[in-house]
Amino acid sequence: MYKGQGQLGSDANGKVFQEDWEYSSVVGMMLYLTHTRPEIQFAVHQVACFCHTPRDSHATAIYHICKYLKGTPDKGLEFVPDSQSLRLDCYVDADFAGLFNVENALDPICSKSRTGYTIFLGKGPVVWVSKLQHETALSTTEAEYIALSQAMRELILMRRLVTKIAQILGSPELATKMHSDVFEDNNGCISQATSPKFTPRNKHYATKFHFFKSHIGPEKGILLHKIGTEEQIADIFTKGLAGEIFKKLRKLLMGW
């Protein structure tokens, strides 16, 4: 989306932004576009973090996003009807301390991890998120577990909403058959999410984020699955990706 991979830093020593267009106004337009262009969510969130102190490097990132959008003016979300079943599926991922080598090591934000997830209704995405975690994760597994917890909160609420809508429309049988698959690519996270026990090493975060475990199981309608990183759609919301990888995940997310 912008040159290079990884995270966009504050560039404190970089040249101050001085151009004849308003940085925050353009960022606002891009934020509006993310409602129908989820594939730019990560990149737009990067440039939006620096509206108060933009540098030339941030403006360059905006130019690259604009160039990408100019090259895909007729593209957007593609929704494919799925009459076979009513389902809400979720792809969730986390980038562990992705700002560590980008921001000042003395700045606490450099240790923050990023949550990324998307929820599909049938074959189309209806929710997508890319945001820094409030807590400082101490390991990749912890960052993934926090992200999974955040995604599950929204998935559980979405399932309740869809159930209510199905009842209002006079199709309560659809709600009772609703199924959800949650796709996670970290083995440690999956193990903790499905294990009935906690270990002393994860007690400090498990006690806060374990609430969703009671919602996982065949009888609950939500199953947690291991997925390969190359198929993890949520990867597009947590880090800058090489062109071919980005296009592959965009195809899975957007249909093109």
Mean pLDDT over 223-238 rounds to 96
C-beta separation of 132 from 113 below 8 A: yes
Per-residue pLDDT band for 174 (boundaries 50, 70, 90) equals confident
Alpha carbon of residue 206 to chain centroid: 21
Where would I find the beta strands (DSSP E) of the chain?
Answer: 88-95, 114-121, 124-132, 180-184, 222-226
Per-residue pLDDT band for 169 (boundaries 50, 70, 90) equals confident
Q: Are strands 114-121 and 88-95 parallel, antiparallel or unpaired?
A: antiparallel
Tokens 């919602």 found at = 215
pLDDT at 198: 65
CA distances for 88 relative to 42, 131, 187, 232, angstroms = 22, 21, 22, 16
Please give, one letter per residue, the 3-state secondary structure of 68-130.
Answer: HHHHCCCCCCCCCCCCCCCEEEEEEEEECCCCCCCCCCCCHHHHCCEEEEEEEECCEEEEEEE
Residue type present at position 152: M
Measured CA to CA, the distance from residue 254 to residue 180 in angstroms comes to: 19
pLDDT at 151: 97
Mean pLDDT, the chain, whole residue set: 89
Dihedral class, residue 4 (left if φ above 0, else alpha if ψ from -120 to 50, else beta): left
C-beta separation of 235 from 116 below 8 A: yes
From the list 64, 66, 57, the residue with the least C-alpha distance to 17 is 57
Per-residue pLDDT band for 207 (boundaries 50, 70, 90) equals low
**pLDDT of 46 higher than 60:** yes
pLDDT at 3: 43
Measured CA to CA, the distance from residue 159 to residue 174 in angstroms comes to: 12
**pLDDT of 202 higher than 80:** no
Measured CA to CA, the distance from residue 30 to residue 44 in angstroms comes to: 7
C-beta separation of 181 from 225 below 8 A: yes
pLDDT at 5: 53
pLDDT at 84: 64
Per-residue pLDDT band for 163 (boundaries 50, 70, 90) equals confident
255 three-class SS: coil
